[in-house]
Each structure stands twice: as C-alpha cells, then as structure tokens.
Structure 1
Amino acid sequence: MVDELAQAEAAVAACVGAATWAMSESDLVAVIDASHRLQQRLAAVQLAAVRDLDGRGTAVAQGASSTAVWLRERLRLTVPAARRLVDLAAALDAGASGVRGALAYGSITVEQARVIADTVATVSASAGVEAADKAVGVLVDWAGQFDPTLLRKLGGRILEHVAPEVADAAARAGLEAEARRTARDRHVTISEQSDGRLRLAGSLDTEAAAVLRAVIDPLGGPAGPDDTRTPGQRRHDALADVCRLALRTGELPEHGGDPAQVVVTTAYDTLLKDLDAGALDTGLALTSEAVRRLACDASILPAVLGGAGQVLDMGRQRRLITGPLRRALVLRDHGCAFPGCDRPPRWCDAHHIRHWADGGPTSLTNAVLLCGHHHRHIHHSDWTVRLGGDGHPEFVPPAWLDPDQLPRRNHYHHRT
C-alpha cells in the first residue's frame, strides 16, 4: 500500500504543474470531479489507518496522551479536527461498513460520511442493528442528492422510513435528550476588553434562541436604503435597543439599592462646550459626543465636585423628557421620525433638536423621537432636523446627498 500511495502521489504531483488555463471547460469539470472523488477515496484509506493505529495504542506508546494529540503533532491539525478524525474512524469501524465502502468508492464525502455515521448510531440505539443497516442504504442514496446539512436534517426522520413502529417514541426521546442537553449547555460569557468593549459568546437553549431571534431579526434589518451598516452591526444595534427598552420599563431588579441605570460622569462645562469626555461608573471613558447623545433622553443627577474631584453635593434627578411630554411626543411622531424608518415609539429616544446643554428648552417644539440607529446617525452625520410649519419634524439631507437639500419626512407612521 505504501508503494501504491507513493505512485499515486507522484501522479498527482505531475498534475500540479499542468496548464489548466489551456484546458477545455469539459476537461476542467472532469478534473474537478476526479480530484474530488480522489480526495474522498484517500480519506477512506487514511481513516482505516487511523482506526488501526488507534486500536494498537501506537500514539500512547510513542508518548502522546491520545491518538488525537499524536495526530495534531504529526499532521499539524487542530485538536478538534484530530478528534473528529479519530471519532469518524471508530464510527466507520463500529457498524457503518456500508458508509466506509461508499466513501472508499468516492460516492459520498467525508462530511456526509460523518453525518451518516452519527445518524446510524442513533438508529442502532433506538431501533436495533437491522434498522441501522437499512438506514445506511437509504442515507447513502440520499447523499447523492443532498449536502451534509440537509442530509442531517433528513436523517432526523430516517426512522419513519426504516422503523416506523418506533419512530414516534424515538422522536420523543430525541427531543427530550436534546432539551436536557441544551439546558445543560446554556451559557453566556461576557468578557471585558481593555478598551471598554465587551465580547459576547455563548449558547442559548431552544426557547431563549427563539425569543432572541423574534426580537433581533425584525430590529436587525436595514433601516432604509441609505443604511450602510453590516448585518453584524445591525444585530449589535438591535441588541442595544432591546437593552435600552428594558431600562425604560423601570421593572428591572434593583442593583446595589438603585434602579438599573447607566451612570455617566462629566463636567458641566464639558457638556456645554462639547470638550473632552465623560466616564461611565465602570471607569471607562466616553467621547463628549456620546455623552451628549445619552443626555438627550436621560435623567440628569447634578453632582458638585471639588477641585480634586471629590463629590461635594448631589442634586435630585431631573427628567429632561417628562412623562406627559414624552406621551405628547409619541402622539405627534408615532415612532422614529427619520424618513423611511418604521421603529415604534418604545424603541425610540427623545432627541433635543437644539441640545439642552446649548440652551435648548425641554419642550415639544424642541424634541423629536428617534430610534437608536437614527439617533446616532443624527449626532454623527450632516443631517439636520427641524419642525415644519405644521409642527411635524422634517429632516434636511446633507448637500452631498441632495444638492437642493429638500426637507424629507417620515411617511411610514399613520398621521391623524
């Protein structure tokens, strides 16, 4: 076998330098088909060798802790990839000889073989060896039509084809096992980075995943034809909007004796003159622009600081956009007022048209509802907002977008 593989390697090496650019399209397709088939057949050879090497304990005898670790060092694989190789070799040896034969013939791929082996193991445990043998034949046939992802989905219903008498009971058992597994593995990890950002990672159970998708998907869509955010950025902003909505409810548990809140510290002159920056209560810095934006729809708690920064006096909270005023704003704007946006009022901040720190009054004539995305957009871009003659907000685009700078309005929300 070693000599034959050496010959095969030499034959492949001779093909590497071939002038593919001079080949016809039909020949190029034939090369792709043949090389792909050869990859799968070579994989079958490699898996057989891994199976026997693992069975002999060669890796441990050579000082490795496992065959997977030995393969990682030998082939420079990642540990997960090496483990998958060992697991698939064992699965093909344990009871999926038909799968091994299909892979050796090149009629299925390695990924399809892995899916079939997993499915056959489940069938064997649920319905016995005879049903498992039938499942191999059915799945190998399906592999000629479906990719691994769809093949795995179809494999979830294979018992309906090979052992219908136990299909319902097995399906229930499978769902219960899946529920236990997802409940056990559910977690969210929040890692704080040095620049103040957070990295989120985790695994949600089925129910929590459905709730999250129901919220994030509609909020994560483009806000309009001019929305240049990536899908990932839109999902980020949608998650932030959900958190802001939760803060607005006033129903979150108290934290340290206070209602849940975001605390930003800044000098009054900084807020007035748009200088320097502010700081969160976690110690992380914010730009002055971010502080001004957060102050648009916030409770302001004045603190008198001494020269060394000591707190000398704390004032009372003063709601910039009061309950009755916000309700009046909702009745007027019906949601985000930016042209083309369909965000409802509960997702919106109350933006001061003329910032209160610049002397702008807290009044209906100086306020407009904006969703989180368009609130940031107004603060960062050259768009301006004003009230038209009828008292409704209108937005003036920058000159580069519209040389005539004709005011635009939101026509999505119903007006009375």
Structure 2
Amino acid sequence: MVEELTQAEAAVAACVDAPAWALTEPDLVAALDTAHRLEQRLAAVQLALVRELDGRGTAQAQGASSTAVWLRERLRLTVSAARRLVDLASALDTGAPGVRAALAGGDITVEQARVIGDTVSTVHMAAGAEAADKAVGVLVGWAGQFEPTLLRKLGTRILDHVAPEVAEAAARAALEAEARRSDRDRHVTLSELSDGRLRLSGTLDAEAGGLLRAAIDPLTAPSGPDDARSPGQRRHDALADLCRLTLRTGELPEHGGEPAQIVVTTSFDTLARQLDAGTLDAGPRLTPETVRRLACDAAILPAVLGSAGQTLDVGRQRRLITGPLRRALVLRDRGCAFPGCDRPPRWCDAHHIHHWADGGNTSLPNAVLLCGHHHRHIHHSDWTVQLSGDGHPEFIPPAWLDPDQLPRRNHYHRRT
C-alpha cells in the first residue's frame, strides 16, 4: 500500500505543474471530475488507515490521550475535525460497508458519507439491519443528485421509503439523534493571531444559534445611508457591542476573584500626551487613540501607571460615569447623542467631552452618551462635541464635511 500511495502521490505531483490552460474545455471538465473522484477515493483510504490506527491503540502507545488528539498533532487538524474523522472511520467500518464502498468508488463525497452514515445508523436502531441496507441504496442514489445539507433533510424521511410502518417513531428518533450530534459537535475556538487580533470560529447548536441571532441581528443593520461597513464588519461590531452590554450588566460570574472586565495598562504620560500604545491584560497592544477611547468606557478599567511604574489608578470611581450620574445622563440624552443615531442608552458608553486624561472632570456637563460606533468615531475623527446653552450636547462637523461647521443635534431622542 505504501508503494502504491507513493506512486499516486508522484502522479498527482506531476499534475500540479501541468498547464491547465492547454486543455480543451471538455478535457478541463473531465480532469476536474477525475480529481474530485480521486479525492473521495483517497479519503476512503485515509479513513481505513485511521480506523486501523484507532483499533491498534497507536495513539495511546505514542503518548496521546486519544486518536483524535494524535491526529491533531500528526496531521495539524483541529480537534473537532480530527474527532469527526475518527467517528466517520468507525461508522463506515462497523455499520455502513455499502457507504464505504460508494466512497471508495468516488460515487459520493466525504460529507455525503457522513450524512448517510448518521442516517443509516438511526434507521438501523429504529427498523433493523434490513431497512438500514435498503436505506444505504436509496441514500447513495440520492447523493448523485443532492448536496449534503439537502441530503440530510431528505434523510429525515428515509423510513417513509424503506420502512413506512415505523416511520413516525423513527422520525422522532432521528430528531433526537440530530440533537445528540448537535450537542457533540458544538464548539467555539478563539485563536490569537500574531498581530494580537483574535480569530473566532465554531459551530453553535440550534438553541445557541437562535440566541445569538436574536441578540445580534438588531445590531447589524447599517447605521445610516453612508455606512460603508460590510455585513461581516457589522456583525463584528455588533458582537463587540453585545460584549460591552454584557460587561456593563455586572451579572457575569467573577473571573480569578475579580469582576469580568478589560484592563488596559498604560503610563499616565502616554495617556495624557497620546504618545505610545497601551496593552490589554491578554497581551495585544492598542493604539494611543484606542486607549484614550477605552479610558472613557465605564465598563473597562484603565490601569494607569506613573513614571516609576507604580499604579496610580485602576478604574477610579470618581472618574467612571456610573450610578446616579449615569442615570442623569440617560435622562438628559435618552440615547446616543450623535446626530442621526437611534441607539438606546443601554448600548451607549459615557464619553468625557473634555478627556479625563487631559484633566477633564467627571460630571454631567462634561459627559455625553455615545454608542460604540460613534464613540470610536469621535475619538478617531475631527468631529467635536460641546454642550449648548440649554445644556444639551451638539456636535461640530469637520470643515471638509461642512465648511460652515454648523452645530448638529440628535432629534431621535427628543421628548414629545
């Protein structure tokens, strides 16, 4: 087998550098079909090897806690991908030889094989081996027409075709099996990138997915006709807003004996003079503008260090706009005060008009409510904010936007 696979690898390697542009269109399509079929056949071989390694206990013999963990290190897979590989290898070996044969013949894909294996396992439990064998034939035939998602949906009614007498009970069993698979496969992975950003990936079960959509969808709408953010960027910002709101509730469990919070470390000179970056407690560094913006947020605690590195302030209550002062601010502004924004108070930060780092005090005349988007905008643009003669905030646009720089107000939150 090793010799045959080595020869196959050499043949594939020779194709990598072959000029695809030289092929006629029929040959190009034929080559694609062949490459796809070869991929599935190789997957069948890989699954057989995984099953044999798992059965021999090779992973444990080499010091790994499980075959999935061993595959993660050996093949550089995620744990969830490695676990799915082990599970599919076991399923095809023990309960669905017809599926393994279809995959080895290149007639179905790995994902289709996983769907068929799951469905056949449910049929076997509900109606026995004979019905399971019939189900394999039906599902493999359907796999020639339908991609995995639709194939799984069709599979929920497979017993109507192979064992109608138990179809209703089996449909209930299939639903329960799907719930078990959903529970098994749920995961969220946070991977820190080299530049300090975080990669978020995972699979949510139906309930968690519904909760996330219900919470995040209202925040993903464009903030106005000039909102140039992509849908993905809006979802990113909505998730950040959701986290800010959750931190602000104070209902999260303690973490390491402290309330859940972000700590930004910087020197006082850095903060006051906008010199250097700050550092999150998790390690990533932030720009001076971001540090100054976070210093306004009552949900985020700045650790301000003096010239000798001693701690001068870690979230002084006299600086944070909380309690009665925040309630008074909410009564005055009613929501994000930036012109044209309709975000409610619960999504807003309390921003110091005269920055705390520049000597500004914590008082109602020196505060304004801003949503996360406009809080960032104020800190990173030429807009300015001031209180008018009647004590309400007004915003001065930059000269490039309005040469006359006429003050603007938010009219969404005005009392009727």
List gaps (5 residues or longer) in structure 2.
none
Output the TM-score relative to the length of structure 1. Answer: 0.67
- The 5 A counterparts of 1:227-266 are 235=235, 237-252=237-252
Which whole-Å CA distance do the structure 1 matches of 2:384 and 2:326 have between them?
21
In the alignment, what sits opposite 1:349? 349
In the alignment, what sits opposite 2:36? 36
Instruction: Report SS of the residue matched to 2:115.
Output: helix
Note the alpha carbon deviations across 1:172-198, whole angstroms, 9 max, x for none: 445556656766887778899999887
Which whole-Å CA distance do the structure 1 matches of 2:195 and 2:9 have between them?
51
Note the alpha carbon deviations across 1:115-137, whole angstroms, 9 max, x for none: 21232122112221122123223
Aligned in 2, Cα 1:218/1:141: closer, same or farther, shift over 3 Å? Answer: farther
In the alignment, what sits opposite 2:108? 108
Output the TM-score relative to the length of structure 2. Answer: 0.67
Determine whether 1:393 maps to 2:394: yes
* Paired residue type of 1:396: P
In the alignment, what sits opposite 2:218? 218
Which whole-Å CA distance do the structure 2 matches of 1:3 and 1:282 have between them?
49
Which whole-Å CA distance do the structure 1 matches of 2:286 and 2:387 have between them?
30
Instruction: Report SS of the residue matched to 2:354.
Output: coil
* Paired residue type of 2:335: G
Aligned in 2, Cα 1:130/1:393: closer, same or farther, shift over 3 Å? Answer: farther
Determine whether 1:152 maps to 2:152: yes
- The 5 A counterparts of 1:245-394 are 245-252=245-252, 272-274=272-274, 289-298=289-298, 317-318=317-318, 321=321, 323=323, 326-339=326-339, 341-358=341-358, 360=360, 362=362, 366-386=366-386, 391-394=392-395
What is the CA distance between 1:250 and its match in structure 2?
4.4
Which whole-Å CA distance do the structure 2 matches of 1:314 and 1:104 have between them?
63
What is the CA distance between 1:146 and its match in structure 2?
1.6
Note the alpha carbon deviations across 1:223-264, whole angstroms, 9 max, x for none: 456656676665554444334323433445677887666666
* Paired residue type of 2:218: P
Aligned in 2, Cα 1:415/1:161: closer, same or farther, shift over 3 Å? Answer: farther
| Contact 1:395 1:409 (C-alpha < 8 Å) held by counterparts | no
Which whole-Å CA distance do the structure 1 matches of 2:10 and 2:269 have between them?
76
Aligned residues: 405
* Paired residue type of 1:127: A
In the alignment, what sits opposite 1:125? 125
Aligned in 2, Cα 1:159/1:373: closer, same or farther, shift over 3 Å? Answer: farther
Is 268-277 or 301-310 further displaced after alignment? Answer: 301-310
Note the alpha carbon deviations across 1:126-181, whole angstroms, 9 max, x for none: 22112212322321232122212332343234334433443443444455566567
Larger Rg belongs to: 1
Note the alpha carbon deviations across 1:13-63, whole angstroms, 9 max, x for none: 9977766435443443344335434554x4498479x489949x9997xx9
Aligned in 2, Cα 1:122/1:288: closer, same or farther, shift over 3 Å? Answer: same
| Contact 2:261 2:301 (C-alpha < 8 Å) held by counterparts | no
Which whole-Å CA distance do the structure 2 matches of 1:2 and 1:265 have between them?
56
